[in-house]
Amino acid sequence: MKPRLALFDLDHTLLLGDSDVLWCDFLIAEGLLDRAAFAVRNADMESRYQAGTVGVDEFAGFYVSTLAGRSPLEWEPLRRRFLHEQVVPRIPPGALDLVRQERAAGALVVLTTATNRYITELTAAHLGIDHLLATEAQQQDGLFTGGVYGPPNMRAGKVRRLQDWLAQRGSSLAGWHSIAYSDSSNDLPLLEAADEAVAVEPDPQLAAIARQRAWRVIRWNG
């Protein structure tokens, strides 16, 4: 029997909201981003992401740019407040239970998200997930540049990054019984690459695909 690999998307899957959008709103409320410049673009990015029409580089670059000009240490107090004020209250109890169930079943549990690592690594820790695949924010001379380092962990990039990560561990996807959890049709490449696909609070496009393919569907409100 193959070992079990559980792959969890984060935003709108284990979290009732989108980390990138919430972070942008949080910084606007703190007066660190210009409301006129960012609020409309933030809403536009979210809308086009949900529709599957936004470009991967454009999406990742826009949100990583919010970190520009500060060091990880300078951002630390704000990202911890962000976790406790904006993220933790939006994690459904059922999501925590599902992660615990996978761990209890002996699965290797991985959080795989298009949001950048700096914003999501505290969330992964709160969820009890040790392994995180995320978009990487570029740094130079100890400061975030506002650019993306390497390929964004989004759409087909999630599969490529997963394959690379497994290869570094001396393994491959074929060596596991994999199950992928996501809300979004943007994650169709990952869901199709897994042995089992589970639609969690699916968007309309993914809900239709899940019905056609008889995929399991989870809704946190029952």
- Report the half-sphere exposure of 4 (CA within 13 A, side-chain side): 14
From the CB of residue 5, how many other CB atoms can be counted at a distance below 10 Å? Answer: 23
Confirm whether 11 is a catalytic residue.
Answer: yes
- Token look-up 């962000």 returns 82
Q: Exactly one of 11, 20, 25, 203 is catalytic; name it.
A: 11
Confirm whether 57 is a catalytic residue.
Answer: no
In which element (H, E) is residue 102 found? helix 93-104
CB 106 within 8 A of CB 4: yes
Q: Specify the long-range contacts of residues 147-150, CB closer than 8 Å, at least 24 apart.
A: 147/61, 147/64, 147/65, 148/57, 148/60, 148/61, 148/64, 148/116
Three-state SS at 194: coil
Number of H helices, E strands in the chain: 9, 7
From the CB of residue 172, how many other CB atoms can be counted at a distance below 10 Å? Answer: 11
Gap between the Cα atoms of 75 and 161, Å rounded: 26
DSSP characters for 120-157? HHHHHHHHT--EEEEEEEEEETTEEEEEEESS-SSTHH
Residues with catalytic annotation? 9, 11
